[in-house]
Amino acid sequence: MKNSRILISWVIVFGTGFFAGVFFAAWKLDTASIGSVKPSPVGEGQASPQDVQKRIAGIERMLKENPHNVEALIQLGNDYFDTGQYEKAVEAYRKASVIDPKNPDVLTDLGISYRKLKKPQEAVQAFKKALDADPNHVLTLFNLGIVLRDDMKDYPGAIRAWEEFLEKAGDSPHAMMVRPWLKALKEKTGETRGEEKQQPTGGRGD
């Protein structure tokens, strides 16, 4: 979730040539628990399901000849993800991350795919690797906060991730989303601490 994922999408031309594209990773994240809607990818149009399946078949053939083509693996992961084949998406992104282990975009996509498979721990591990590769990768922090809050119930961790996100994200649309979430989460955890303080101490004089 690169800064580049906020503003950049790559265009794919497959047939006479091939140039792999990467969609916004944040958009791939299913955040139904916060009532958000998955936006459409940036671009001038989306391929039909039939075209995507043809592209998948073509990329798979390409990878048989050149299994280390990282751009092809990334595009294959994107297409698998967009067609709901999340296990295959994980495998494609994982292979791409082995070839290019410092690519935070691939690692973030890997984490989002793990979340789709209801594997939040693996998702968090992938996000942390992405941040090791690029500590300023703001959309990784965005997604990390969501997984920590919604799936892991690690509220302090989510608060830390989103506070760091806001320090680095400026006035981006994602920052406008995170501010009220962070405020609500801080209020929630503050109320919890307050309730704990009000609990009886269990003295023996009762």
Question: CA-CA distances (angstroms) from residue 103 to 50, 99, 152, 185?
Answer: 30, 9, 25, 31
Residue type for 119, please? K
The region of weakest confidence among 5-19, 128-142, 188-202 is 5-19
pTM: 0.74
pLDDT grade for 41, boundaries at 50, 70 and 90:
very low
pLDDT grade for 13, boundaries at 50, 70 and 90:
very low
Residue type for 194, please? G
Which residue reads 């302090």 in tokens?
156
- CATH class, range 3-37+46-193: mainly alpha
- Checking if the pLDDT of 38 tops 80, the result is no
Sequence-distant (6+) residues with CB within 8 A of 119 are none
Span 172-194, average pLDDT? 87
- Nearest CA-CA partner of 92 in 67, 115, 118: 67
**Whole-number Å distance between alpha carbons of 48 and 159:** 39
- Higher-confidence residue of 58 and 24: namely 58
